[in-house]
Structures are given as structure tokens and as C-alpha cells.
Amino acid sequence: MKRDISINVEHVTRVEGHGNIVLDVKNGKIEKVQWQISEAPRFFEAMLRGRRYDELRSITSRICGICSIGHSLASLKATENALDVSISEQTGMLRRLAINGENMQSHILHVGYLVLPDLLGVGGALSLVGSTHHDALLKVVKLHRLSNEMSDLICGRTTHPITLQVGGFSKIPSKTHLEDLKRRLEGGLKTTLGVAELIHNVADNIPDFSRETEYIALTAKEEYALYEGNLASTDTGIHADEKNYKSYVNEYFVPQSTALYCKHNRESYMVGALARFNINSDYLSPAGKQVAELFSLKSINYNPFMNNIAQLVEFAHNIEDSLQLIENLLEKGLKDEKPPEIAMKEGRGIGLVEVPRGLLIHDYSINDKGRCVKANCVIPTNQNHANIQKDMEAFVPTLLDKSEKEIELNLEMLVRAYDPCISCSTHYLNVEFVHE
């Protein structure tokens, strides 16, 4: 049926930016499909210029309320690389615990509160209260609480960490606290598998849409890379020279967006949980693999909606990986390590980490007084914008026989699948239809 469709989804958010969906179809012909970003420039890089090396982490931890641990770690790695500061094995393990905690916090929040309502066909998490899914919601809250308290224990706060420092930690958790966390994570793993079963029961509602694209994530030899690794692409393989990361992310401007877009080997690429899964699934823990098998998720999967399942897979992996890290820490014995001596020198450092939404890069140049003279931060959501646009262009033609309401919901679900750094995607629902 040839008809006109005009959809304009406007979203005004507070911190992470503004994203709009615009679709114009005239007489059955698609005239315009756009994922528009109207994010106001935030000038983080300018805020870092002139600041002391030991202030950079706390400033960048405020870039995002959800990825504040990831920003802290990317910042610390960039600073430490610039100043040639080494960290101890214990610090490395505690930082891996921190990044697991953040991944868990973010993934359960997204899958449990924002995606699950879509799969259950209700308007939002609030609709689950008192419904037949109330118990499932309580399980999600329980896992969320566990993830928050883990971050609190390792990083000193649930969000915007304070114990992470250049070269180490200002305070480490006690043996008793780690033993208690271990017991709780063991219980959390069982709950996670229960939540995975529930989501599996409604997995038929995940749209069956695939588009071949490139995936980029960190990769490492012996672990599912989150804290450390080399840049890798499903198209071009491993890229060990991190100082040339700009040739990998290739940021560029587009007229419809105030945020930068990125491309590498194709016109777009994707970062995030699905990219990590596609590149590193061999290194998942047994529980991570179990959840992937439950959903028949195999590498390489080209369905962007499966990013949410990859998040669930990672949640199970993060718990098991944390259990292993805690065991190792306890076995080696916790040491009250003194922070290393830091000599001021001129240098440039790059910090690469995987945060919940994908690859995060901080690049600092520091002068011989220890002050930052240049900074560049490449944020995962910006790397995904072009891929969201290309997905929309491919997805819309498959939706044209649906009602405007269904088209709108599907497009919003597509955006939500990427878990863009817009603090509450359920607030995406400020919708305006304009009929010709």
C-alpha cells in the first residue's frame, strides 16, 4: 500500500545529549530517514587543558554518570602512559573488578529496566510493578543493587569513583569485604541465569533484522578484553599501534548532528557488547557461554538488537570473572601498597578501555610541569551514530506495512538496542506525528 508516513521523534535530554528520529515517506517512497543528534557541545577536552595530571581523572569521571568508572580508568591509563607510571598486579586486578562492576551496573539497568519492557510489550519498567512480571523486576533490582554495591566497595562510591588514583588506589577493600562480595556474587550468578531464562521466554519479540557491518573492540590473548587489549576489527584484524587510533576511528562531521560520527573500513562500524562478543566470545566464562548458547548467539552476529543479549551474556561473564579475580586477590593476600613516586615529564599517553557502550579512548599530552596541554576523548556512543543511521536506512523498508505507532516503536527499540549514552531511553517517548 502506497501511503505517506511522517514520524518525528524528538528527545530532549539533560546530560548525555539529544537524539531525534525523523522519517518521511511520501506515496510509499522513503524521502528521509535520519538519526539526528542535537547534542550541545560540552567542551570536555578544553576543560582538561591546563589541569594537573592528578585532577584529570576526577574531572573526566563527571562526563557520564553511568560510565564514570570507565572514564576514570581510561583517564588513568592515558595519564600513566604519558608519565611512564607502572601499576602493580594488585591494582590491575582491582581495576578489572571495578570495570566489571560498572559493566554489570549499566547492563542490568539497560536490559532490566529499559529493554525488558519492550520485549514484554509494556510501556516502561513502571508497568511491570504489580504485574505478573513483578518478581522478575525484583530480581533485576537485586542484581542492580549487587552491581552498585560492588562498585561502591571497589571504587568508594556507586558512581563517580574516588578511590581510583594515578598509580593505584587510595583505599582498597578488606579481606572480609571481598569474601562477603564473593558470597553475594555466587548468589547473583544464580539470579542472573534465572533472569536470562525469563528473557529467553520472550526472545521471539526481538526483531529479526540483520545488516552486515564492521565491529570494533579491544582484544587480548588470555582474557575477554575490557580493561586492556589491542584494537581489533572483524574486518581488518588486530591493530597494535594504539597511538594511531585516529586512523581507526576516523571522526567526521555530518550536517544532521552536532556529535562526531566515525567510520573505519566501511561507512560505519559498531562498538559495544555485541562487538566485544563478536570479537572475543572464545574468552567468555562458562556462564557467559551458557547464556549465549541459551539464545543461540554465535559470532559473528549482525543483528543490532542482539546487543542487549550480548549485554546479558557479559553480565554473567562479569560475575564469574569477578569471582576469579577475588579468589586470586585473596590467594595472593591484599597488600597496603604505597602510591608510586611520579616524576614529571613531558609525554603523550593513550588510554583504551571498554565501557558498557563500547570502546572509550582518552588521549592526553602532558607537559614537564605535569599539566595537560592537549586532550582528546573518543566516546563509544559517537562511534555508533553512523551505524544507527545505516541500520535505520536498512530497517525502515522492512517496516512500511506496519502502523506508524509500530514503526515508531521499532525505530526506538533499534536506538535503545545500542544503549546510547542518553541517561534514560524510556524518556524517548516525546513523539509527534505530522500528517501531510
Q: How far is the CB of 280 from another protein (least distance, A)?
A: 26
Q: Between residues 39 and 363, which has the closer beta carbon with respect to another protein? A: 39
- 278-302: b (≥16 Cβ within 10 Å) or e: bbbbebbbebbbbbbebbebeeebb
Q: Between residues 43 and 208, which has the closer beta carbon with respect to another protein? A: 43
- Using the rule CB under 8 A, give the single segment among 241-249, 315-323, 326-334, 419-427 that binds another protein: 419-427
Q: Which residue has the cell 572464545?
A: 282
Q: Does 15 bind another protein (CB under 8 A)?
A: yes
Q: How far is the CB of 145 from another protein (least distance, A)?
A: 4
Q: Does 429 bind another protein (CB under 8 A)?
A: no
- Show Cβ contacts of residue 123 under 8 Å, excluding neighbours closer than 6 positions: 117, 429
Interface residue with another protein, options 148, 301, 322, 389 (CB under 8 A): 148
CA distances from 8 to 406, 431, 435 (A): 14, 6, 11
Q: Does 125 bind another protein (CB under 8 A)?
A: yes
Rounded distance between C-alpha atoms, residue 220 and residue 284, angstroms: 12
- Show Cβ contacts of residue 428 under 8 Å, excluding neighbours closer than 6 positions: 9, 11, 19, 412, 415, 416, 422
- Alpha helix (H) residue ranges in 244-358: 246-249, 273-280, 286-294, 307-332
Rounded distance between C-alpha atoms, residue 274 and residue 287, angstroms: 17
Q: Does 49 bind another protein (CB under 8 A)?
A: no
Q: Per-residue x/- marks for another protein, 154-193, CB under 8 A?
A: ---xxxx---------------------------------
Q: Does 47 bind another protein (CB under 8 A)?
A: yes
Note whether 381 and 360 are within 8 A (CB): no
- Using the rule CB under 8 A, give the single segment among 121-129, 164-172, 263-271, 282-290 that binds another protein: 121-129
Q: Does 220 bind another protein (CB under 8 A)?
A: no
Interface residue with another protein, options 23, 63, 274, 287 (CB under 8 A): 63
Amino acid letter, residue 331: E
Rounded distance between C-alpha atoms, residue 177 and residue 418, angstroms: 34
Q: Residue 383: how many CB atoms within 10 A of its CB? A: 30
Please name which of 124, 125, 145 lies closest in space to residue 136, comparing C-alpha atoms.
Answer: 125
Structure-block grid coordinates of residue 406: 509500530
Q: Does 132 bind another protein (CB under 8 A)?
A: no
Interface residue with another protein, options 1, 43, 86, 221 (CB under 8 A): 43
Q: How far is the CB of 117 from another protein (least distance, A)?
A: 12
Interface residue with another protein, options 27, 40, 176, 401 (CB under 8 A): 40
- Using the rule CB under 8 A, give the single segment among 63-71, 188-196, 225-233, 357-365 that binds another protein: 63-71
Q: Does 200 bind another protein (CB under 8 A)?
A: no
Footprint on this chain of another protein (rule: CB under 8 A): 13-15, 40-44, 47, 59, 62-66, 68, 105-106, 109, 113, 125-126, 129-130, 137-138, 141, 144-145, 148-149, 157-160, 423-424, 426-427
